[in-house]
Amino acid sequence: VVTTLNGGNAEELQQAYLASHDDRTVRVILLLVAMEAEAMPMVTALGLHADEPAVIAPPAPCHSFSGEHGGAQVHLVCFGKCKATGVDNVGTVPAALTAYLAIQAFKPDIVISAGTAGGFRSRGAAIADVFVSTGMVNHDRRIPIPGFDKYGIGAFDAVPTPRLQKALSLKSGVVTSGNSLDYTAEDMARMVQHEAAVKEMEAAAVAWSADLFACPVFCIKSVTDIVDGERPAQEEFLENLHKSAEALQRVLPLVVEFISGKRISEL
């Protein structure tokens, strides 16, 4: 199982989490989003504005947007474009870099990795469902050497959010990350082993950077494609990106409003 916390009810999970994290009040929220097509509707929905001059200076490729929403100071940082190809900087390398620089620059109370993902039908996922993460793990880092095996998995607990999940009727589960839109048989075996509900390309890297700062982190991911379905991910992804981005645009402001002003132990 992914979680590094012991099992138990929501209350026990929260107590265990607070053994290694401050029970701080959420006043500054950092949203990290890989793709511009996912980020811009959120920027609009949250009423944010591009930071000018740039808060995170070049050559870092990311772009930040800031504003106030629901009583919180909100910063959204998207990963920018690839210099060589012009497409969005998706994947774990830009995710870790952006998360590190953005946490350093904005000093958030909490980080949310937001975006689209593949969902597992076997864990209740349907197109445009919005999931909250319970944990983040890598599914494509295989290093069969003692110690490095566990490092490769790179599991992190999400900040427990039982009240948020209930209040907004959100599904929840483990988010696993890898650097491919498709998956190998070994990737799938690991996703099943870690009880993945959602598969994407950034969360475990964001969690790694957030952990360096002991900053609480969770994911909000909306489903564009069904991982354990019949169709190729890329086909479903392109078909459902708009619908899925709309779901994110609807839910994220509610998430920000819910967590704003609450302590970590009240999420």
Residue 45 C-beta: closest distance to ligand ADE, Å: 20
Residue 130 C-beta: closest distance to ligand ADE, Å: 13
Identify any residues that bridge with 115 across adjacent strands, giving them in sequence order: 221
The single residue of 51, 109, 225, 236 carrying the catalytic annotation is: 225
Is 88 considered catalytic here?
no
Among 190, 199, 204, 216, binds ligand ADE (CB under 6 A): 199
User: Angle formed by the axes of helices 203-212 and 92-106, to 10°?
Assistant: 40
Q: How many residues bind ligand ADE (CB under 6 A)?
A: 12
Report the b/e string of 160-195 with b at 16+ CB within 10 A: bbbbbbeebebbbbbbbbbeebebeeebeebbeebb
The Cα-based distances of 66 to 71, 97, 106, 224 in angstroms read 13, 19, 10, 27
Residue 118 C-beta: closest distance to ligand ADE, Å: 3
Residue 201 C-beta: closest distance to ligand ADE, Å: 5
The stretch among 126-134, 160-168, 187-195, 197-205 that binds ligand ADE (CB under 6 A) is 197-205
Task: Note whether 262 and 25 are within 8 A (CB).
Answer: yes
Identify any residues that bridge with 177 across adjacent strands, giving them in sequence order: 138, 200
Q: Helical H runs in 65-134?
A: 92-106
Footprint (CB under 6 A) of ligand ADE, residues 222-261 = 224-225, 227, 233, 237
Footprint (CB under 6 A) of ligand ADE, residues 111-150 = 116-118
Token pair 């689209």 is found at 116
Is 140 considered catalytic here?
no
Amino acid identity of residue 41, one-letter, is P
Residue 221 C-beta: closest distance to ligand ADE, Å: 8
Work out the angle at residue 235's Cα, subtended by the Cα atoms of residues 230 and 239, and round it to the nearest 5 degrees: 115
The stretch among 8-16, 76-84, 150-158, 219-227 that binds ligand ADE (CB under 6 A) is 219-227
Q: For the chain, first and last CA: distance in Å? A: 23
The stretch among 48-56, 127-135, 137-145, 195-203 that binds ligand ADE (CB under 6 A) is 195-203
Q: Is 201 in the site for ligand ADE (CB under 6 A)?
A: yes
Among 170, 181, 192, 254, binds ligand ADE (CB under 6 A): 181
C-alpha 227/C-alpha 174 separation (Å) is 14
The single residue of 38, 140, 157, 187 carrying the catalytic annotation is: 38
Residues annotated as catalytic are 38, 225
Site residues for ligand ADE per CB under 6 A:
116-118, 181, 199-201, 224-225, 227, 233, 237
